[in-house]
Each structure stands twice: as structure tokens, then as C-alpha cells.
Chains A and B, each alone.
Chain A
Amino acid sequence: MKNKRLIGAAAAVLAVSAALTGCSGSSQSQADGSKTIKVVYSDANSAALVSWFTEVTAEFEKSNPNITVDLEPIKGAVSDYYTKLALMNSNPSTAPDVIYEDSFQLKSDAEAGYLAPLDTNLAAWADWSQYSDSVKQAGQGSDGKTYGVSVGTDARALWYNKDIFAKAGISVPWQPKTWEDVLNAARTIKAAVPDVTPMNVYSGAAIGEGASTQGFLMLDYGAQNGGLTDSSGKWLTGSTGFVNSLDFINTVYSEKLGYGPQVTSSTTYSTQVRTQDLPAGKLAIDLDGSYIPQNWGATAAQPWPDWTNVMGVAAMPTETGQAPAQNSISGGWTLAVGAKTKAQDAAFSFISTALNKDNAQKLAIDYSLIPVRQDVSTDPAYLASNQNAAFFAGLIPDTHFRPATSQYSQVSNQIQVATEAVMTGQQSPADAAKAYDTAVTGIVGADNTTTGK
């Protein structure tokens, strides 16, 4: 009953928002040939992204006077964005024309029939040659068709506060060699600078996908016998790397090196980390995305120009320093066209404007993304804008992408459950890993799992 009521409530909310925007259906065509397309994106407190979308929309409407863009930011946590997007997509009267789509959700949403294949449009787009094959693959569905164009990628590493490190007597630049080095630095800080949080490793269900990409997978893919799947794509169960990664999280939270539950259980967890605690010098080490300087730039709500002097970056080491010594996880977002659009060409035209060289470069600089267009990544203006550009580019050879299957998002939920059970002390790492094994087998089927080491 609750469920039904929620669907009803969600439908009512969507209906109201559709009515308010004066657009009961997507891509309305008027008799005079003018069109309206609806563009939906996630506004999870990122001023840079909002201003980028607004500027792109203005530019597009100027060059296409007969097309009106109905720009619809969805405010709130990113994990809620996926849900709201799915609900919008499941009804033709609310389905958007252009979707800002997380690459890890793309395959799943393509299979759900929410996205339109773009192959015909892309074949006629000269700029498509600027994208490397591996980047193109990130936008492909399981059927081999392309459903999304990458807006940029990212990587993850350890951000640290040089001032706090100086107070704790740890020399900078800092580059830990093993997980133990990371923990020891956090322990040293805890002892020497008691009023700061030594370290943040995103964990738990409240932060959603962030607990997987920024937290757990940064460990698991660098663990001995780690990783979620084997080389043939079968999901690992009984993996020691999984248990050891949970053990790391257990150490961080049981030794109180990380945040307390009032922060980790809050939906504003990442906002607090990036916009409050890091600028205020209240957090020493943060395992986080390459894109977090977007919160400190000139367009941010509270600019922090001094971050370039205060914040250092270090690669996340592998468990025991085994080859390749460093680990990173990459993701990124794409622009896609909704399958229920009545104006696919107009929608794609919006995407090609948004991701032309100038706009893609602007996003890469303001939103701190790693550019995927070759002409942007070699552009001197981009390279000059980001002091860490070379560092993150150096992580890309050893980075991992999340398993490119539609089941990943469900598996990721189970990872979040496991990290939460461990960080709250409800389960030991071994028990949580066992519960994960059972759940994963249930999701992908026993045939698609294999026993790890």
C-alpha cells in the first residue's frame, strides 16, 4: 500500500511540476514549426553545472530561434535524481528529451527503453572524431548502439590538507605506498591535531553511489585479489580483497579516524565534506573525486581561491604497494536523448552545441572534469587552468571503470549495504562480505558468479 501511495505521490509531484512548467508533454510542436524540448539534469548543489547548463541553453536558443528549451534542474541528492528520472521516463507525458545521464546508469536505462540510440546523429557529427574509442564505449548500451555522449570523465585520489599535515609533522608532498601508510598518517593526525577529522572514506547507504565509487571500489580494485568481476565478467564471491577492503573501512570507523554517524547518515554528507570541512581546514585527508575543486572555484557559492596552495593530491596506493602501485576509479556523465522524444534531431542538436569544443572546455575547467575531447585535453588554456591536470591524467592508465553491465547498479546497492553494516559495527567485515555474496548471487544468478581468492 505504501508503495502504491508513494508511486501516486511521486506521480502527483511530477504532474504538478509538469503543469507548473507549462509543458504537459515533452517536445511540443506548434503549428508554426517551433518546438519545445525538455532538458533534465541533476542539481546536487553544483553552481558550476547550473551556470553551464544555463549558458548552453541561452546559446542554443539564440542560434535556434524556433526551439525553446525547458531546462529542468532536479534538486537534491544524486541518488534521488536516478529515481526521479526513472519515474519521469516511465511516462510519455513527463519524459524528457535531453537527459544528463550518469554513465553507470546508462546501460540499465537503455535496456529499460528510456534512451534513444544516437548512431545516425553521431555519424553526421564531425566532432565525434575527437572522442577516443574507449570514451565512445562509455556511452554504449549492451546492444552495441550508442546512447550517450560523454561530457567528461573523472578519477579519484587522496586529497590532503598541507597545513594540517605540517601541524602533524608529516612531510609534504605526501605519497603513501600502502593502505597501512594511509591509516598511519590518519592516526598521526588524530593524535597530533585532535580537533580535525583525520580522514574521510565515503561509506554507508546515505551517500549512495558515492560510497561505492569514492569509497569502497577505490579500495577493492587496489586490493590483493580485489575487484568486483574477473576478466571474463563473472562476479566474484568469497573474495579476500572484498573482506580486506571492508576491513579498511572497519579500521577507519572503529578507530574513529573518520566521521561520526551524524555526518555519514546525513544526505548532505558530501556537501559538508567538500564545501564546509575541507575549506575550513577541519578534514585532513579526503578520498574523493578529481572534480571537487568545482566547489571552490570563482562560480561556486563560496569560492576558496587558496585551495591551490592548501590542498595536495596523492594517488590512492594499492593494498600492499603491489603493482601497479596506484588505483583509481573513473566514471563520468553523458548527455543522452530520451526515447519518448518527438524531436530527436532538435535534442541531438542541443547535445552537439553543449559539447562543442568551447562548451566542453568550459565545463572541464569550471566543473573540474577530465576532458574527453582530444582537442580540449591538449588545449593550453585547459592545461593552465588546472594545476592537477597532469596528476589526474597520470592516474588514467591504472584507473578502473565500474562493471559495464545493467546489473551493476543493483550490485552497488549491496556494496553500500555492506559498507554501512561495517561502519556502524553491525556486522564484521567477513559477515558483511558473506551477505554481499548471497545478495550478488541472487541478483546475477549463480551461473554468473565465480569464487575469488
Chain B
Amino acid sequence: MTSSATTAADHPLRARRIGVLRARTLARSVPLLPAIVLIAIFLVGPIISSFYGSFTNSSLTGSAAQNPSFVGFDNYVNLFKSPGFPGAVILTVIFIFGSAVIGQNVVGMLLAALMRSGGRVVGAIVGTAVVAAWVLPEIVSAFAAYAFFSEEGTFNNLLSLVGIDGPNWLFTFPMLSVILANIWRGTAFSMLVYSAALQDVPPEITEAAEMDGASGAKRFFLITLPMIRGSISTNLMLTTLQTLSVFTLIFVMTGGGPGTASTTLPLLAYQEAFKFSQLGYGTAIATILLLVGAVFSFIYIRALKPEVD
């Protein structure tokens, strides 16, 4: 009974304390308000308008340009029925895996690891060369890649020096060309992220492992990689999302062609919305793109979440 009396006496006090805490938390979040408003306008707003647009027959010309009407899931139904859509999804996934997940990440990691053990001068030269590709505006690097891979481009000229008559890369191997170009363009980002992450791995641990007789490869895969798992996850996510939205590079190099051989989802969305004037339909593709990005992010966050920190 006494205990219950104490609780009763305590209660109003504690309630007031909680009230004060709550008010304080609210007051403390006020400075966040501008950021929240900005995010709502510039991030959530477009997403909502993209969702909404994908349910209309909005168009650049024709009567639907004047009075777009709500068409429900028509755009999505037509999209899933259209023969070009599955191909574009597959090409998008190939592009992401080839150029971001495998290409940029592995090459970036390799460069970061090698630069650590390489000399200072070599590291500086390699670092500058790699970063140069990354700081170029996308349109410039796209033209550079076009000039490199085109039929009478640098690559085929180099090949002809050793007596090889190279094919028209952009036509014969369009996906390979754009994947290689995107690896060239994007590797610097991964390299910088991994260089920073590798510097944070305490040398004592690797040294201890070395004392225990672990080989270089074992040290790398069993010690270094698990320790920088957080960086890997973040980097995978960022490069994937960047690659998912690559448009200029492919548009300049192959225009999505020949035929539809390099038409990834962003190119398909552009084609439908701006070449074929069907804004609503193009927006539906853009919304799918958004969902693909969300799925990838979810997988990375779940799969590479550090269990103990």
C-alpha cells in the first residue's frame, strides 16, 4: 500500500518531468525545420508528383496536353505489356552490376589498396589520372568516351598499331562500351571512399594477423574487408544509385541503340516522355526506376549492416 501511495505521490511530478522533456525535444527540433521543409519540397515533392503523373495520360502534345486525365494503372499495365520494357530492366541491371557493383567497386578497391603499398609518386600520378575522369562534366567525359570507342576512335587506332582491326565498339558491343566508360568515369569515387576507409584500419590488427602467419590475401579478406564493411555498404549504395540514373553517358555514346541494345530505363523514360511526347507514360518508367533504386538500397542496408559495432 505504501508503495502505491508513493507512486501516486510521485506520479504528477514524473508526468510533469516527461512533459518538460517532450517540450524540450520539440523545441530542440525547431532548427531542423528548414531542412525538413527543403527536403519536403525538393525530394518528397518530386517523388509525389512523379507518382501522381504516372497515373495520368499527361502528354507534350495532343488533347491530353491541355486536359490530362487520371487513367489509373493504365500506364503501368501498358508498360508491363510492352515488349521493350523487360529488355530495358535487364539492361539496367546489367549496367548497374557491370559498371557499379563489380566495375567501380572492385577497381576502386584495387586501386586504393595498391596505392597504399605503392610509392608516393606513383600514387599521386594514378590518383590524379583517375580523379581527372571523375571531375570532368558528364557531357565532356561522354564525348571523350565516344571519341575513344567510335569506329575511327582512339581505341581502334591503338589496336591498329598492333595489327588488330577493331570492330565498331559502340555498335557491336554497345553495353560493354558504356559499361567500360562508366567504370572509367566513376571509379574515382570508390577509390577515394576506400582509400579513406583503408586508412582507418588500425595497422596493429593486420600486423598481429601477419604474426599469426596469415597471408596477404587472407589478411585482406578476413581482416580488412570486414572492418570496412560499413564503407563498402555506403559506397555500393551510392555508386548504384548514381549508376541507376546515368543518362548523358549512354545517350551521347549510343543513344540507347543500336535498336534498343543499350536502352536502359532512364533512356526509355526520356524516349517515351520527350521523343514520343507521352509524359505520363515516361513518368511511370521513372517511378519504376525509383522503386528499383529503393530495392537496391534496402538490400545493401540489410545485407551489410554491421552486427556489432
Which residues of A does B touch, CB under 8 Å?
1-6, 10, 79, 82-83, 86-87, 90, 105, 108-109, 111-114, 204-206, 208, 260-262, 265, 267, 406-407, 409-410, 413, 420-421, 424, 426, 435, 438-439, 442
Which residues of B does A touch, CB under 8 Å?
46-47, 49-50, 53, 59-66, 78, 82-83, 150-151, 168, 170-171, 245, 247, 254-255, 257-261, 265-266, 269-270, 273-279, 282-283, 285-286, 289-290, 293
CB of B273 within 8 A of CB of A262, answer no
Q: List 12 A-B contacts (CB under 8 A).
A: A1-B290, A2-B245, A2-B286, A3-B286, A87-B60, A105-B61, A260-B171, A265-B255, A265-B257, A406-B62, A420-B259, A424-B257
Contact of B261 among A83, A206, A426, A442 (CB under 8 A): A426
- B65: chain A residues within 8 A (beta carbon): 86, 90, 111-114
- A409: chain B residues within 8 A (beta carbon): 61, 277
CB of A113 within 8 A of CB of B270, answer no
CB of B275 within 8 A of CB of A262, answer no
CB nearest to A413 among chain B residues: B276
Known: A86-B60, A86-B61, A90-B60. A261 touches B282 (CB 8 A): no
CB of A112 within 8 A of CB of B62, answer yes
CB of B269 within 8 A of CB of A2, answer yes
Q: Which 10 pairs show the lowest CB-CB distances between chains A and B?
A: A112-B65, A3-B286, A86-B60, A113-B66, A111-B63, A426-B259, A424-B259, A261-B171, A2-B266, A424-B258
Cα(A66)–Cα(B192), bound, Å: 61
Cα(A113)–Cα(B61), bound, Å: 9
Measured CB to CB, the closest approach of chain B to A29, in angstroms, equals 26
- A108: chain B residues within 8 A (beta carbon): 61-62
CB of A265 within 8 A of CB of B274, answer no
Contact of A413 among B265, B275, B282 (CB under 8 A): B275
CB of A420 within 8 A of CB of B257, answer yes
CB of A4 within 8 A of CB of B286, answer yes
- B63: chain A residues within 8 A (beta carbon): 111-112, 406
Contact of A1 among B50, B170, B258 (CB under 8 A): B50
CB of B289 within 8 A of CB of A1, answer yes
Known: A108-B61, A112-B63, A413-B276. A3 touches B50 (CB 8 A): yes
Cα(A262)–Cα(B151), bound, Å: 7
- A410: chain B residues within 8 A (beta carbon): 276-278
Cα(A86)–Cα(B286), bound, Å: 20
Cα(A86)–Cα(B255), bound, Å: 21
Contact of A6 among B62, B261, B270 (CB under 8 A): B270
Cα(A4)–Cα(B261), bound, Å: 24
- A109: chain B residues within 8 A (beta carbon): 61
CB nearest to A111 among chain B residues: B63
- B266: chain A residues within 8 A (beta carbon): 2
CB of A262 within 8 A of CB of B47, answer no
Cα(A277)–Cα(B278), bound, Å: 36
Contact of A260 among B60, B168, B247 (CB under 8 A): B168
- A86: chain B residues within 8 A (beta carbon): 60-61, 65, 277
Measured CB to CB, the closest approach of chain B to A140, in angstroms, equals 16
